[in-house]
């Protein structure tokens, strides 16, 4: 069993709020986590995956909430949104901290009515698939290290991976972060992912979003997987799939609400020159992408597949996102692209407005052309760019000489394997 890094943060939030919601993709580990919390804090645990309990919750939600009282954990709350008004009512009446801990596999924040109903009463956490820090059980956090004034801490951390190669990193890409697949062989893992999409995701699309033509969603997932780590062009997707533009928009919103994909916004604050507004698409799990596209570890290692660059960027994004979620600081992740097509894969900004630029490459030799986007961003950025990094397939952390005298460092991607 993996120790979740967000656990202490969530417990602290629960202890200081009337209602706490944990959202995240199906099978990301929410149930395991809240069962641990239930046992540690001696709190009643209820799952709405239980048909009898679900029927009771939907047929008489007020009695259901009264019967189970509080504190209580209600797992898979999206099955019975009828409970929300009575949870709100009870939270307002009793007005105690630590009353309700809820989990959901679809994003309640997409529902304006629910969001307004629970405004000011609820803390919200998103639980991601396993981070490599959780899989390997190490205490260091890559986000903290990247923002630290002392670069030697990153150098020390990199020494832990001296015996690992970029091939090990590729294996992590193919496996992904779902807890259930960590020890499965590839053939069994592929069956698991197929079942995950067909039995869980398409079923949820029907139940919660009333979408009957779920086969077209699978088509969209396949096309998006082939174009991950790229800008989203809904018109192009609609033409390729021969679907209505609004239908594609709806399906993309659905996949995001189910935490399968993320749309990363373009960074525009303090940039003088006009930037494009298109968002960049990343999947929440590279193991899922690899299974959808039938990509093998061997083909990536031999460079037979053309997806290594995209998957490397996607994987780095998921790790930055995951590890930013269990530190105390708030770190926001953007991408950058201007009208002249100058690009930076990621712009990270913390609560102190300290800004970092991050490029991702799947090669071992980095030239001047590879840092052009970083230099252009720094040239037009009104603030001070704290530091920039280029993840690459090499082994050492190396400072990169540049005309702007920026602090740019090569980082081995295998640090995240």
Residue that finishes a domain, picked among 126, 148, 163: 126
pLDDT-derived band at 270 (thresholds 50, 70, 90) equals low
Q: Is residue 132 part of a domain?
A: no
CA distance 43 to 189: 34
Least confident residue range of 5-14, 38-47, 191-200: 191-200
Q: Is residue 131 part of a domain?
A: no
Which residues form the domain of 309?
A: 138-416
Q: Are residues 372 and 321 in the same domain?
A: yes
pLDDT-derived band at 112 (thresholds 50, 70, 90) equals very low
Q: Are residues 342 and 409 in the same domain?
A: yes
The confidence score (pLDDT) of residue 208 equals 75
Q: Are residues 81 and 159 in the same domain?
A: no
The confidence score (pLDDT) of residue 211 equals 81
Instruction: Report pLDDT digits (tens) over 311-351.
Output: 999 999 999 999 999 999 999 999 999 888 999 999 999 99
| Residue 34 CB-density burial (10 A; 0-12 exposed, 13-18 middle, 19+ buried) | buried
Q: Are residues 115 and 143 in the same domain?
A: no
| Residue 214 CB-density burial (10 A; 0-12 exposed, 13-18 middle, 19+ buried) | middle
Residue with token string 């260091």: 140
Cα 186 to chain centroid distance, Å, stands at 23
Q: Is residue 41 part of a domain?
A: yes
Task: Answer yes or no: is pLDDT of 111 > 60.
Answer: no
Residue that finishes a domain, picked among 126, 156, 185: 126
Q: Are residues 173 and 246 in the same domain?
A: yes
Q: Is residue 344 part of a domain?
A: yes
pLDDT-derived band at 171 (thresholds 50, 70, 90) equals very high
pLDDT-derived band at 121 (thresholds 50, 70, 90) equals confident
Task: Answer yes or no: is pLDDT of 114 > 80.
Answer: no
- Average pLDDT value for residue range 156-170: 95
Instruction: Report pLDDT digits (tens) over 367-402.
Output: 999 999 999 999 988 888 999 999 999 999 999 988
Q: Are residues 109 and 152 in the same domain?
A: no
- The CATH number given to whatever domain includes residue 70 is 3.40.50.300
- Average pLDDT value for residue range 236-264: 94
Write b or e for each residue in 71-88: b if 16 or more Cβ atoms lie within 10 A of its Cβ, otherwise e: bbbbbbbbbbbebbbbbb
Q: Are residues 93 and 197 in the same domain?
A: no
Q: Are residues 98 and 223 in the same domain?
A: no
- If one compares 211 and 116, the residue with the highest pLDDT of the two is 211
Residue that finishes a domain, picked among 63, 91, 126: 126
Distances (CA, A) of 185 to 175, 224, 414: 9, 25, 21
Question: Would you report the helix, strand and coil content of the chain in percent, each value rounded to 5?
Answer: 50, 15, 35
CA distance 189 to 197: 12
Name which of 194, 223, 226 is nearest 314 in CA terms.
Answer: 226
Q: Are residues 287 and 391 in the same domain?
A: yes
Q: Are residues 41 and 188 in the same domain?
A: no
The confidence score (pLDDT) of residue 105 equals 87
Q: Are residues 345 and 391 in the same domain?
A: yes
- Average pLDDT value for residue range 65-90: 95
Q: Is residue 204 part of a domain?
A: yes
Q: Could you tell me where the beta strands, DSSP code E, fall in 250-289?
A: 261-264, 280-283
Could you give the number of structural domains in the chain? 2
- Average pLDDT value for residue range 167-188: 96
Instruction: Report pLDDT digits (tens) over 196-218.
Output: 998 888 888 887 777 877 789 99
Q: Is residue 70 part of a domain?
A: yes
Q: Are residues 155 and 85 in the same domain?
A: no
Q: Is residue 352 part of a domain?
A: yes
Q: Is residue 184 part of a domain?
A: yes
């Amino acid at each position: 069993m993996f120790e979740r890094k967000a656990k202490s943060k969530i417990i602290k939030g629960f202890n200081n709020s009337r209602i706490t919601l944990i959202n995240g993709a199906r099978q990301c580990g929410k149930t395991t986590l809240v069962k641990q919390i239930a046992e540690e804090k001696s709190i009643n645990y209820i799952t709405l995956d239980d048909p009898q309990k679900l029927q009771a919750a939907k047929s008489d939600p007020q009695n259901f909430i009264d019967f189970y009282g509080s504190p209580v954990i209600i797992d898979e709350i999206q099955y019975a949104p009828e409970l929300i008004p009575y949870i709100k009512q009870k939270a307002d009446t009793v007005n105690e901290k630590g009353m309700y801990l809820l989990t959901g596999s679809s994003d309640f924040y997409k529902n304006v009515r629910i969001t307004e109903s629970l405004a000011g009463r609820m803390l919200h956490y998103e639980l991601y698939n396993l981070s490599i820090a959780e899989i390997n059980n190490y205490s260091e956090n890559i986000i903290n290290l990247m923002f630290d004034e002392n670069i030697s801490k990153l150098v020390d951390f990199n020494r832990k991976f001296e015996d690992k190669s970029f091939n090990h990193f590729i294996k992590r890409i193919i496996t992904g972060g779902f807890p259930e697949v960590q020890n499965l062989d590839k053939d069994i893992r592929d069956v698991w992912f197929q079942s995950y999409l067909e039995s869980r995701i398409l079923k949820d699309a029907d139940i919660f979003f009333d979408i009957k033509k779920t086969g077209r969603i699978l088509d969209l997932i396949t096309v998006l997987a082939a174009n991950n780590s790229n800008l989203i062009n809904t018109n192009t997707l609609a033409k390729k799939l021969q679907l209505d533009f609004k239908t594609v928009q709806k399906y993309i919103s659905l996949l995001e609400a189910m935490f399968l994909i993320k749309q990363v916004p373009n960074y525009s604050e303090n940039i003088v020159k006009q930037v494009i507004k298109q968002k960049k698409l990343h999947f929440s799990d590279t193991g899922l992408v690899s299974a959808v596209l039938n990509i093998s570890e061997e083909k990536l290692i031999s460079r037979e597949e053309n997806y290594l660059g995209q998957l490397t960027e996607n994987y780095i994004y998921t790790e930055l996102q995951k590890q930013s979620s269990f530190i105390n600081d708030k770190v926001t992740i953007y991408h950058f692209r201007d009208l002249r097509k100058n690009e930076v894969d990621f712009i990270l900004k913390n609560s102190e407005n300290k800004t970092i630029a991050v490029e991702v490459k799947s090669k071992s030799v980095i030239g001047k052309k590879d840092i052009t986007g970083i230099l252009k961003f720094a040239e037009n950025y009104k603030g001070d760019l704290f530091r920039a990094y280029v993840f690459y397939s090499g082994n050492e952390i190396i400072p990169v000489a540049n005309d702007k005298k920026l602090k740019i460092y090569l980082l081995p991607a295998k640090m995240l394997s």
